Structure 1
Amino acid sequence: MSQGIPEDADTAADKDPGHKGHRQRLRDRFRKTGEQDLADYELLEFLLFSALPRQDTKPIAKALLKRFGSFPAALAAPRERLKEIAGLSDISIDAFQAVHAAVVRYHRSGFNDRKVLESWSGVVDYLQAAMGQSEIEQFRVLFLDKKNALIADEVQQTGTVDHTPVYPREVIRRALELSATAIILVHNHPSGDPSPSGADIKMTRKIVEIAEPLGITVHDHIIIGLKSNVSFRGLKLI
């Protein structure tokens, strides 16, 4: 007899007859129409099927949406917050976070081997996926070569919900170490509002001031919000 878990084995342990065949029905809908026919909680359920083969994942999925507020926020939630959701084990959290990692890598692949400035929408999509749902501020730098190809993408600092310490000379020192001739500055606003603060503007101008004599161009500073972003270049702040 096979020792594997049958595709609908979870229903055998389900005491509620109303849930009988639920997973198979959800799979059938997904196979027929894709994700567009699934509600957010149903897609979260689907993502948890393999990691939780014998549990009813619907209450877990609904708890995720209630706690984090949206599908993207649930997908990008930090491990410690996910541990607060009843029914999620370390293994299921691993599987869940791997999905978010795959989304981020997918977006990054759109510009990783090409000139960054020629793939601008892909860069912004990647940054939105990587940082848009973060609950703490992150400051990262994209380091570019003379052809504007990506040398490195590094998170330089992480901070609190509304502040990240940034050291302009350290940013430029790292650019020199990598032989970068241009950089793009990026940070997120966990509040959701990507509008630059006075401190953001002052810090950016300081980096530009240090970089210019060394032949390093600051192409832009992008602030990532919950659903939108702003460009310092677009706002004519640099």
Structure 2
Amino acid sequence: MPPLHDRLTRAAVGEDSSKPDHVGHRERLRLRFRKAGPDGLQDYELLELILFNAIPRRDVKPLAKALLRQFRTFADVIAAPRDQLLSVRVEQEGRPPLKATERVADEFAMIRAASLQFQMANVIDRPVISSWKDLLSYCRSTAAYEPIEQFRVLFLNNKNALIADERQQTGTINHTPVYPREVIKRAIALNAASIILLHNHPSGDPTPSRADIEMTKQIVAAARSVDIAVHDHLVIGRGETASFRSLGLL
């Protein structure tokens, strides 16, 4: 129970002193968010707002802070693999441990899905030249936090508008097998006029490897044979993106 002077203070301002501490905290934090938006809250407080839905009757601040200690940033927490999330727990004397549950992992997954849908809406059916910044933001969201390499292809129509984004292959932590014939076969099936290649480096360093360069040459040659242009190959790291075209590799 809160100290007597805290309960008297709450009674003086009309708060219900019978409510547990965390209930009043949740109400106050939501009010701050409504008034100030996300810029008015610390990262752990934004995580608390999300955790409220998954853990309804506990003070979730210790868990929010534990998640940030484990994964370092808000974005890394939201993008953390489910099995790693479920391993986070905070021991509390006299109470059951406070844990990242399946419901917590579901909440984070829904936020990721909503974010991707929102960003996709900014780029789909729009010419990539006029929406390049939005396209890069979308690409980073899809790939930057993946724990293993994945190879994606953005398919464009004859007006350079995005018509599809598809994951072609998933590999290991530092390698993804890519088959140029399958990439071109899919481009033809979608009636794409051009493509943008995309893959991530889980290490965080987006510098293209020799294998990346050689694979890109093979895809460019295969695409040229059927009159499909390869506009770029983007390598996504944690904070940076490497462009083959900008690097003079394409």
Give the TM-score normalised by structure 1: 0.89
Secondary structure class of the residue paired with 1:21 = helix
Secondary structure (helix, strand or coil) at the match of 1:50 reads helix
Alignment of 1:155 onto 2:167: yes
SS of structure 2 residue aligned to 1:113: coil
1:213 Cα deviation from its structure 2 partner: 1.5
Task: Tell me what 2:215 maps to.
Answer: 203
Deviation at 1:151, TM superposition (A): 2.2
Q: Paired residue for 2:45, among 39, 42, 46? A: 42
Give the aligned partner of residue 3 of structure 1. none
Aligned residues: 226
- The whole-number CA distance in structure 1 between the counterparts of 2:171 and 2:129 is 28
Q: Which amino acid aligns with 1:194?
A: P
Which range moved further: 111-120 or 186-195? 111-120
Mark the CA change 1:144 to 1:20 in structure 2 (over 3 Å): closer, same or farther: closer
Paired residues for 1:130-209 under 5 Å: 130-209=142-221
Q: 1:40 corresponds to which letter in structure 2?
A: D
Alignment of structure 1 residues 208-219 onto 2, 5 Å: 208-219=220-231
Q: What is the one-letter code of the residue matched to 2:63? A: I
1:70 Cα deviation (Å)?
0.9
Q: 78-87 vs 165-174, which deviates more? A: 78-87
Structure 2 unaligned spans of 5+: 1-14, 90-98
Give distance in 2, aligned partners of 1:79 and 1:164: 22
Which residue number in structure 1 is paired with residue 122 of structure 2? 110
Q: Give 1:190 deviation, angstroms.
A: 0.8
TM superposition shift of 1:128: 0.8
Q: 1:112-133: per-residue Cα shift (whole Å, max 9, x none)? A: 1212232111110001111111
CA RMSD of aligned residues (A): 1.9
1:6-85 correspondence runs (5 A): 12=19, 19=22, 21-85=24-88
Q: Distance in 2 between matches of 1:20 and 1:88?
A: 19
Alpha carbons 1:48, 1:96 under 8 Å: kept: no
Amino acid aligned to 2:33: F
2:131, 2:82 → 1: CA distance? 31
More displaced 10-residue stretch of structure 1: 199-208 or 77-86: 77-86
Moved more, 82-91 or 35-44: 82-91
Report the AA paired with residue 231 of structure 1: S
| TM-score normalised according to structure 2 size | 0.85
Q: What are the within-5 Å matches in structure 2 for residues 89-104 of structure 1? A: 89-104=101-116
1:231 aligns with 2:243: yes
| Alpha-carbon distance between aligned partners in 1 of 2:110 and 2:23, rounded to the nearest angstrom | 29
Give the deviation of 1:20 after TM superposition.
6.2
Q: Any stretches of 5+ residues in structure 1 without a counterpart?
A: 1-7
- Displacement of 1:178: 1.5
Identity of aligned residues (%): 52
Answer yes or no: is the 8 Å Cα contact 2:216–2:233 preserved in 1. yes
Q: Quick check: 2:198–2:236 contact (8 Å CA) kept in 1?
A: yes
CA contact (8 A) 2:68 2:74 kept: yes
User: Counterpart of 1:78 in structure 2: which amino acid?
Assistant: P
